[in-house]
């Protein structure tokens, strides 16, 4: 059995992964493609791995939990903040399909080239990776169906709520919890907190 399938089976068994579309995305987007070559033997281990510049490719269990909370759908426009290795961008792009698009933004210049190369090798084309603006979080003035943040903020970044479409979902780590923020069709906000996680810190916009 391929080792990627072992990882997927583990994530299903632990209850982290259960949505059919997400399971299929994990099958198509082999984590090995996004791990540094020197760490290839650890690609299917269920823990974070260093990818350079003090950054990591997230633990598969955590990625599965966050994507299950996000519930991305076909055709959606998604913002992936702190796209890092490009693995979450690839998973999201696979789920939204050719009619959808994923915009990755990253503050670490080294990871821009790293993730673009990895996504090209994975033949993922319905996405982009850009250097994040130092003065803002996300892409002010744009609207997204889903927003995923893969680094831990010190507090709720309210500026992201204005970038979320009505009916949209934001999933973001704040300190040691994962939060799901849902903007209802009437503009009201619902929140859900899942504690007990650890992330690299979000690089906050410069003042």
CB distance 12 to 54 below 8 Å: no
| Interhelix angle 87-96/109-121, nearest 10 degrees | 50
CA 31, chain centre distance (Å): 13
State the pLDDT at residue 55: 87
Q: Which residue, among 173, 164, 162, 172, has the nearest Cα to 199 in the 3D structure? A: 173
Q: C-alpha angle 105/111/117, rounded to 5°?
A: 100
CB distance 14 to 6 below 8 Å: no
Per-residue b or e along 164-180, where b marks 16 or more CB atoms closer than 10 Å to that residue's CB: bbeebbbbbbbeeebbb
SS3 category, 137? coil
Q: Which residue, among 151, 135, 136, has the nearest Cα to 54 in the 3D structure? A: 151
Residues of the chain with pLDDT under 50: 1
Residues 98-120: tens digit of each pLDDT: 999 999 999 999 999 999 999 99
Phi, psi at residue 145, to the nearest 5°? -75, -35
Q: In the chain, what's the furthest Cα-to-Cα distance?
A: 51
Residues 79-97: tens digit of each pLDDT: 999 999 999 999 999 999 9
Q: Which residues are catalytic?
A: 58
Q: Are strands 49-52 and 101-106 parallel, antiparallel or unpaired?
A: unpaired
User: What percentage of the chain carries pLDDT values higher than 70?
Assistant: 98
User: Which domains are assigned to the chain?
Assistant: 3-195 (3.40.50.150)
State the pLDDT at residue 29: 97
CB distance 62 to 113 below 8 Å: no
């Amino acid at each position: 059995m391929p080792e990627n399938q072992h990882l997927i089976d583990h994530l299903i068994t632990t209850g982290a992964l259960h949505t059919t579309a997400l399971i299929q995305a994990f099958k198509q987007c082999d984590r090995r493609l996004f791990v540094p070559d020197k760490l290839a033997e650890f690609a299917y281990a269920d823990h974070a791995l260093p990818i350079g510049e003090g950054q990591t490719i997230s633990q598969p269990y955590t990625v599965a939990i966050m994507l299950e909370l996000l519930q991305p759908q076909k055709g959606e426009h998604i913002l992936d903040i702190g796209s890092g290795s490009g693995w979450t961008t690839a998973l999201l792009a696979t789920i939204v399909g050719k009619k959808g698009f994923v915009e990755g933004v990253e503050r670490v210049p080294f990871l821009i080239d790293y993730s673009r190369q990895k996504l090209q090798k994975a033949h993922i084309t319905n996405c982009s990776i850009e250097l994040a603006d130092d003065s803002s979080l996300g892409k002010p003035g744009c609207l997204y169906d889903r927003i995923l943040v893969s680094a831990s903020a010190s507090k709720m970044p309210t500026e992201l709520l204005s970038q979320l479409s009505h009916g949209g979902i934001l999933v973001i780590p704040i300190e040691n919890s994962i939060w799901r923020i849902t903007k209802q069709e009437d503009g009201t906000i619902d929140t859900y907190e899942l504690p007990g996680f650890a992330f690299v810190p979000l690089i906050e916009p410069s003042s």
